[in-house]
Amino acid sequence: MTTITDNAVPATGRSTTDEMVAFIIMAALLAAVPLTGLYPYFVMQALCFALFACAFNLLIGYSGLLSFGHAMFLGTAGYVTAHALKVWGVSPEIGIILGVVGACALSVLTGLIAIRRQGIYFAMITLALSQLLFFIYLQTPFTHGEDGIQGIPQGMMFGFLDLSNTTTLYYVVLAIFLLAFLLIYRAINSPFGEVLKSIRENEQRAISLGYKTDQYKFLAFVLSGSLAGLAGAVKVFVAQNASLTDVHWTMSGEVVLMTLVGGLGTVFGPVVGAFVIIAMQQYLAGFGQWVTVIQGAIFVICVLTFRRGVIGEIAHFFKRSL
């Protein structure tokens, strides 16, 4: 059985220098955004989704687990952060921490249930759990149902960073994104990441080598869920609301699409994929429902002809690891 990321693995060995150069270029480009005419809110939103997609990719790209319910972590952290900021009046950094803790707790609970099955069953279970949560959020009072939590104060981070200032907010979002990106990068290049990859390639072999694979998969799931929660918590400051869209299963589908377009199991693929999809939604908004059709078509084209994704194809062409 071929694994889902076979096509993405570069022909040559991994080279961390390529990846570090690419990281510096990415960081420099993103840091220069406020100097250009680009709409900062668009880039910030794309950064939140890029972080979400990177967290998702940590799970599918490096441990071969397709979670079809990842929106539940994004949405839960968003609700927790939004509620903490608005009702409890906590400072931004505490709000973000609470959001991540909420997503982490949720990923522990769901991970314990879902990790016991693999492949498509894992996908279906995570999808069903996220739908369960969607209905719960629809009914509980604190989420305000269809209206969502609106008008969230942005506040002063650490007491001196005024998040209502667009440029300050932009650099805070960028800093969080880059730190989380490096954390994910560190995780996949650690012994832990190597074990995950060996599980992805051949779980039976990893078990016979003495690894408790369920524990590794569980850890990857919790890490991925918590980082997706970080994306959701930061997104609250950008969008200034938390709503049901972020928990709905279509959002889980979108993050799969972002990762697939960029390249499953590549380091930079999810970032590129997120920017492509968010830009598409932004600029094709006038087409109404046709956007869904276009997204579906991209899914089909990617799966049939373009399984490496944008970054995967580039990496394959230049025989580099990205």
Residue from the set 1, 11, 28, 35 that interacts with another protein by CB under 8 A:
1
User: Closer CB to another protein, residue 85 or residue 311?
Assistant: 311
Residue from the set 179, 300, 318, 319 that interacts with another protein by CB under 8 A:
300
Site for another protein contains 21 (CB under 8 A)? no
Instruction: Report the run of H or E that residue 37 belongs to, with start and end.
Output: none
Site for another protein contains 297 (CB under 8 A)? yes
Q: Least distance to another protein from the beta carbon of 135, Å?
A: 4
Q: Could you tell me if 70 and 255 are in contact, meaning their C-beta atoms sit under 8 angstroms apart?
A: yes
Collapse the DSSP code of 242 into the 3-class scheme (helix H, G, I; strand E, B; otherwise coil) and give the result: strand
Task: Show contacts with another protein in window 221-260 (CB under 8 A).
Answer: 249, 253, 256, 260
User: Closer CB to another protein, residue 40 or residue 64?
Assistant: 64
Site for another protein contains 145 (CB under 8 A)? no
Q: Could you tell me if 260 and 315 are in contact, meaning their C-beta atoms sit under 8 angstroms apart?
A: no
Residue from the set 63, 76, 131, 154 that interacts with another protein by CB under 8 A:
131
DSSP state of 90: -
List the Cα angle 83/89/91 in 5-degree steps. 100
Residue entry with tokens 């973000």: 96
Q: Least distance to another protein from the beta carbon of 109, Å?
A: 9
Site for another protein contains 142 (CB under 8 A)? no
Site for another protein contains 62 (CB under 8 A)? no
Give CA–CA dist 91/77, Å, rounded. Answer: 15
Q: Which two tokens stand for residue 270?
A: 């999810």
Find the helix packing angle between 16-31 and 166-188, rounded to 10°. 170
- Exposure string for 153-170, b = 16+ CB within 10 A, e = fewer: ebbebeeebebeeeebbb
Task: Show contacts with another protein in window 257-286 (CB under 8 A).
Answer: 260
Near another protein by CB under 8 A, which window of 36-44, 97-105, 172-180, 288-296?
288-296
* DSSP-assigned beta bridge partners for residue 162: 156
- By CB under 8 A, name the binding residues for another protein: 1-4, 66, 68, 113, 116-121, 123-125, 127-129, 131-132, 135-136, 138-139, 249, 253, 256, 260, 288-293, 295-300, 302-304, 307
